[in-house]
Amino acid sequence: MGQNTLDPEDWGAFRASAHKLLDTAIDKMQSAKEGRVWTPLPEGMKEVLRADLPADGLDHESLQMKLAELLPYGVGNTHPRFFGWVHGAGNPGNVLAEITSAAMNANLGGRDHGAIYVEQQVIEWSRQMMGFPEEASGLVVSGTSMATIIACKVARDSRLDYQCREHGVGKAPLVGYVSEQAHSCIARAFDLLGLGSGSLRRIPCNDDFSMNLAALQKAIEDDRAQGFEPFFVVGTAGSVNVGAIDNLDALAEMAKKENLWFHVDGAFGATAILSKTVQERLSGLNRADSLAFDFHKWLQVNYDAGCVLIRSKKKHLQSFSGRAEYLTGVNKGLAAGELWPVDLGPELSRGFRALKVWAHILEHGVDKLGACIDENCRQAAYLGEKVKQSAQFELLAPVALNIVCFRYLSETESDLDTLNRDIVIALQERGIAAPSTTFLNGKLAIRVNITNHRTDIQDLDLLLEEIQKIGNEFAK
């Protein structure tokens, strides 16, 4: 053994320490429904985490203790009353998948090894799930933000006949279209790709917060009249504020008529294709030229894991292929493989994210995952009805999927925005629940997103009770 190996000197001690930490991690997940939702990191631990770069290492027992100390201080999304953002709750089985991934330490940029085949199967399952054609391609990525960048690049390069890969975008007057409720990652992708966020037109919405198609048509016509070149339109399958779903079939038809690339942002809503109650409302999703979505949201895979699907593998390859000499593929050996992931995206160094997705789907099956989505939608509908029936609350948006936006009403407090913001902060700081806030039609809303397989009706009843209690306390 080399003098400077990083392997343990005592494998037995390492094994004992690892088993102890695994038990602690499983204990945390088993008790996920208990205790506080969010616990701020203590000042003492913050000081420890500001320590200087260490010259000497720790023994395994000391390191295990430091890791265990961090476990209570996550964002809180494993708890059933984490409602603020669309974060999946995760699942215990992924702990084992992550251990396996770490032990393999595979780089999924390319070459011929088992991990590559796992990712290929995950992409094939995703293609089947979303109804994409057999010639589609895709990648497992960090999340919808990266998936959107990849999709936008393929769309841009395709429109510019791939010359921009060498010569740049230049002054091409390309413009795209999104709903006012669309996620900010699309504008960021336009920025990063040299198109400019100002080239992304934000289209007004209908009363149900879906994109107004008449306004979209007018924007396209106005842009063409002014010398711009429309090339890209985004349909949202589950908007970040209220969970609204755009008319994807109608957008697909308009994209075809106007010669636009049709992208669907399905960050969390696309996986509702597995839901028996929501599936029909996603009609048209399978007609998209590209789709971005997350496994780590409504499918409950542990962070991070997202996916991009591109309808045309040929266009996808034309946008990213071009390996350096040292990455040239061969017919046999470790460097074999007809298609490497690096041919489909910007990263050569890629972790084995696909393993936890693969293991999760194998463990639970898509029927069970779809049933969890159904249940979250029923819970959101229940909460929406409770809000509508109470004189102390005002529902601020239709309940489209799993998000309920409302506010607490007070007869004695005129500044309802400040009052509701303070209620949300109090819920978070007291560890009771973790909703978030947003603005809808000029009003601050308490935003409750239910993306958790551990949430039950009692959690929602408790939330409303605590909001009323804190609201009465603050309004005095």
* Bridge-based pairing state of the strands 393-395 and 403-408: antiparallel
Are 37 and 124 within one domain?
no
Helices in 288-353 by DSSP H: which ranges? 313-320
**Which pLDDT does position 412 carry in this prediction?**
84
109 inside domain: yes
Same domain? For 137 and 202 the reply is yes
Give the Cα separation of 236 and 475 in Å (integer): 38
Q: Is residue 85 part of a domain?
A: no
DSSP 8-state code for residue 314: H
Same domain, 326 and 391: no
152 and 230 housed in the same domain = yes
Q: What is the CA radius of gyration of the chain?
A: 24
1 domain residue, yes or no: no
Cis-peptide into 304, omega within 30 deg: yes
Same domain? For 409 and 464 the reply is yes
Amino acid at 459: D
The residue to which tokens 């609204």 are assigned: 244
State which of 348, 363, 378 marks the end of a domain. 363
Give the pairing type, strands 306-310 and 229-236.
Answer: unpaired
* Pairing label, strands 290-294, 306-310: antiparallel
Tracing tokens 């049933």 back to the chain, one arrives at 371
Per-residue pLDDT, 81: 98
What is d(CA 113, CA 13) in angstroms, rounded to the nearest whole number?
31
Q: What's the predicted TM-score (pTM) here? A: 0.95
Please count the structural domains in the chain.
3
User: 176: Cβ–Cβ under 8 A, 6 or more apart, which residues?
Assistant: 186, 190, 195, 199, 200, 201, 230, 231, 232, 233, 234
- Residue 327: predicted pLDDT: 67
What's the CATH number where 388 sits?
3.90.1150.10
DSSP code per residue over 135-153? T-EEEEES-HHHHHHHHHH
CA distance 440 to 242: 9
Q: What is the pLDDT along the chain (476 residues), one digit of tens a residue?
A: 457 899 999 999 999 999 999 999 999 999 999 999 999 999 999 999 999 999 999 999 999 999 999 999 999 999 999 998 899 999 999 999 999 999 999 999 989 899 999 999 999 999 999 999 999 999 999 999 999 999 999 999 999 999 999 888 888 799 999 999 999 999 999 999 999 999 999 999 999 999 999 999 999 999 999 999 999 999 999 999 999 999 999 999 999 999 999 999 999 999 999 999 999 999 999 999 999 999 999 999 999 999 999 999 999 999 998 876 666 777 788 877 778 899 999 999 999 999 999 999 999 999 999 999 999 999 999 999 999 999 999 999 999 999 999 999 998 888 999 999 999 999 999 999 999 999 999 999 999 999 999 999 999 999 999 999 999 999 87
Contact 87, 24 (CB under 8 A): no
Domain boundary (363, 395, 424) is at 363
Distance CA 440, CA 410 (A): 19
Given a contact cutoff of 8 angstroms between Cβ atoms, the answer to whether 153 and 193 are in contact is: yes
Dihedrals φ, ψ of 50, to 5°?
-105, 10
Q: Same domain for 353 and 375? A: no
Say if residues 235 and 246 touch (Cβ distance below 8 Å): yes
379 and 262 within one domain: no
Indicate if 146 and 252 belong to the same structural domain: yes
CA 204, distance to chain mean position in Å, is: 24
Q: Tell me the H-state helices in 181-325.
A: 185-192, 213-225, 248-258, 313-320
Distance (Å, whole) CA 165 – CA 469? 59
Instruction: Specify the amino acid at residue 278.
Output: V
Distance, CA of 6 to CA of 26 (rounded, Å): 27
Helix (H) or strand (E) holding 262: strand 261-265
Q: 144 and 244: one domain?
A: yes
Listed residue (133, 86, 22) closest to 435, CA to CA:
86
Residue 79 lies in a domain: no
Same domain, 334 and 383: no
- Neighbour order of strands in the sheet with 174-179: 137-141, 306-310, 290-294, 261-265, 229-236, 174-179, 200-203
Tokens of 285: 């999703």
Return the ∠ at Cα 350 (arms to 274 and 56), rounded to 5°.
Answer: 125
Tell me if 432 is assigned to some domain: yes
Q: Which two tokens stand for residue 391?
A: 């004189």
Look at the block and give the residue holding tokens 């009609």: 283
| Tokens describing residue 155 | 């769309």
Q: Helix 354-389 vs helix 93-104: angle between axes, to the nearest 10 degrees?
A: 150
Residue 252 maps to a domain: yes
Which of 324, 341, 363 corresponds to the end of one domain? Answer: 363
Q: In angstroms, rounded to a whole number, what is the distance separating the alpha carbons of residues 241 and 460?
A: 19
Query: Around Cβ 160, how many Cβ atoms within 10 Å?
Result: 18
Strand partners, 178: 202
Whether 6 is in a domain gets the answer no
Q: Could you tell me if 212 and 359 lie in one domain? A: yes
Buried b (16+ CB within 10 A) or exposed e, 68-82: beeeeebebbbbbbb
Both 426 and 392 in one domain: the answer is: yes
Tell me, yes or no, whether 90 lies in a domain: no
**Beta-strand pair 229-236/261-265:** parallel
Nearest to 356, CA basis, from 142, 185, 151: 142
Specify whether the CB–CB gap between 58 and 455 falls below 8 A: no
Residue 145: which domain range? 101-363
Phi-psi region of 224 (alpha: psi -120 to 50; beta: other; left: phi over 0): alpha
Q: How far is Cα of residue 155 from the mean position of the Cα atoms in its chain?
A: 21
pLDDT value for 295: 98
Does an H or E element contain 261, and which?
strand 261-265
Question: CA–CA separation, 386 vs 390, rounded Å?
Answer: 6
